[in-house]
Amino acid sequence: MSELTLRAKQLDAADELAPLRSRFALDDVVYLDGNSLGALPAHVPDRLADVVRREWGELRIRSWTESGWWTAPERIGDRIAPLVGAAPGQVVVGDSTSVNVFKALVGAVRLAGDDRTEILVDATTFPTDGYIAESAARLTGRTLRALTPEEVPGALGPRTAAVLLNHVDYRTGRLHDLPSLTAAIHAAGALAVWDLCHSAGALPVGLDEHGVDLAVGCTYKYLNGGPGSPAFLYVRRELQPRFDSPLPGWNSHADPFGMSPDYAPAPGAVRGRVGTPDILSMLALEAALDVWEGVGIDAVRAKSLALTDFFLECVSAYTEPGRVEPVTPAEHGRRGSQVSLRCADAGEVMKRLIEEGVVGDFRQPDVLRFGFTPLYTTFADAERAARTLAALLG
Ligand SMILES: *Cc1c(COP(=O)(O)O)cnc(C)c1O
């Protein structure tokens, strides 16, 4: 046994989170794509079958009240809240991340007031955020400027309405400084909107602590909610009474069954809703969140850093110098829960890695992406992935 396989064994034996892996349906594939689609928690199929057979099949319409369907968006929001550092009553689940980016950004611009004429957006963002920001700017009559998160503090001013930023860069795995960027945005009198797709469930976010105004995030990545599971929207409590959603559907009405032709927004997180919730996906997500019972996000972060450190060490030990170049920062304070490696022929290399039972993904133009989900990824996985990669490249 090599020194690194031995170390992996010891690290796994000492890992307090190791027993959580058995809560997931996994096989001997090294699954490092949980930042794209989280693995299936093993109990979800039975729960979903019960939702379909009994709640839908037998109770039918009664389930809206008797099975708690109607209140699911806020109830599940309150289960996600502690994972992102939010007190109850500020997170609502529903719609896709893209739709929530729209609600949050237009809502932020409306909160900022008419004299603030510019929106800033992260130029390195996952494309959908940029597309939505462009449309939001056009609809609200604001100008849009795209720049890197590092350039944001220097670009802020009395005309800045809102800034849309990613907490972790989806391509490089770089973690941006949410506390200091939020503080700089507030010092300029603007609103901070954060996209937490690659941090929710992977590391502490501290939304309340850092005074974030609005935030959105995915639930099918590190929260394992299942393909297309609904996203979440956070609106800070103090802003809720003035939050003016650009998609004021009947589900966000103060009296939805009053069927009034006039709109009156509900108080609280409910105001972030639009239409009828996608109950099947939503209840799959709710069940998936059970795996977090008794798990602290700080322990998850500690393991995530240990896993990515160990993977980087294995890559560097096994791979000929110069064959791959880490693009994820080595510094812990700037690293999300993934490792991205720049590599010639990255698309072809990933295809072959997957054939060898190591599943990561490829991002244009030359990036191999490996996501580490501390709830189920082992140190042995990290070692095997690095060893398989090196064998392919060598
Ligand atoms: C995954 C991801 C999305 C996905 O948006 P959908 O509307 O769910 O397709 C959006 N933004 C970021 C930063 C992401 O990583």
Query: Is 369 an active-site residue?
Result: yes
pLDDT beyond 90 at 75: yes
Average pLDDT, the chain: 97
Element (H, E) at 386: helix 379-393
Query: pLDDT digits over 192-208, tens only?
Result: 999 999 999 999 999 99
Pick from 34, 38, 20: which is nearest to 229 by CA? Answer: 38
Name, in order, each residue with C-beta under 8 angstroms of 153's C-beta and a sequence gap of 6 or more: 181, 184
Greater confidence, 1 or 390? 390
Q: Is 92 exposed, middle or buried (0-12, 13-18, 19+ CB in 10 A)?
A: buried
Å from CA of 198 to ligand 1 middle: 9
* Extents of the domains making up the chain: 3-31+295-393, 47-292
Å from CA of 270 to ligand 1 middle: 22
Query: pLDDT digits over 252-275, tens only?
Result: 999 999 999 999 999 999 999 999
In the annotated binding site for pyridoxal 5'-phosphate, the residues are: 97-98, 126-129, 195, 198, 220, 250, 276
Structure tokens at 213: 């105004």
What is the second-level CATH architecture of the domain 47-292? 3-Layer(aba) Sandwich (3.40)
Query: pLDDT digits over 76-93, tens only?
Result: 999 999 999 999 999 999
Query: pLDDT digits over 15-41, tens only?
Result: 999 999 999 999 999 999 999 999 999
pLDDT recorded at residue 1: 72
Distance CA 367, CA 319 (A): 16
CB 32 within 8 A of CB 381: yes
Distance CA 159, CA 46 (A): 53
pLDDT recorded at residue 394: 86
Å from CA of 25 to ligand 1 middle: 24
pLDDT recorded at residue 371: 98
pLDDT beyond 80 at 182: yes
CA dihedral 384, 389, 393, 394 (to 10 degrees): -10
pLDDT recorded at residue 390: 97
CB 175 within 8 A of CB 334: yes
DSSP 172: T
CB 55 within 8 A of CB 67: yes
pLDDT beyond 80 at 183: yes
- Sign of the torsion formed by the C-alpha atoms of 267, 273, 274 and 278: negative
pLDDT beyond 90 at 133: yes
Q: What is the mean pLDDT of residues 364-369?
A: 95
65-87 burial, b if ≥16 CB within 10 A, otherwise e? Answer: eebebbebbbebbbbbbebbbbe
> Quick one: pLDDT band at residue 125, thresholds 50, 70, 90?
confident
Among 170, 220, 234, 379, the one annotated catalytic: 220
Class of domain 3-31+295-393: alpha beta
Structure tokens at 132: 């939505």
Distance from the first to the final alpha carbon of the chain: 20
pLDDT beyond 80 at 218: yes
Pick from 200, 107, 91: which is nearest to 162 by CA? Answer: 107
Among 24, 31, 126, 310, the one annotated catalytic: 126
Give pTM, 2 decimals: 0.97
Pick from 172, 266, 277, 179: which is nearest to 232 by CA? Answer: 277
pLDDT recorded at residue 206: 98
Greater confidence, 1 or 99? 99
Order the strands of the 361-363 sheet from edge to edge: 324-326, 338-343, 367-371, 361-363
Residue with CA at minimum distance from ligand 1 atom 15: 197
Structure tokens at 110: 């409306």
Q: What is the mean pLDDT of residues 104-127?
A: 96
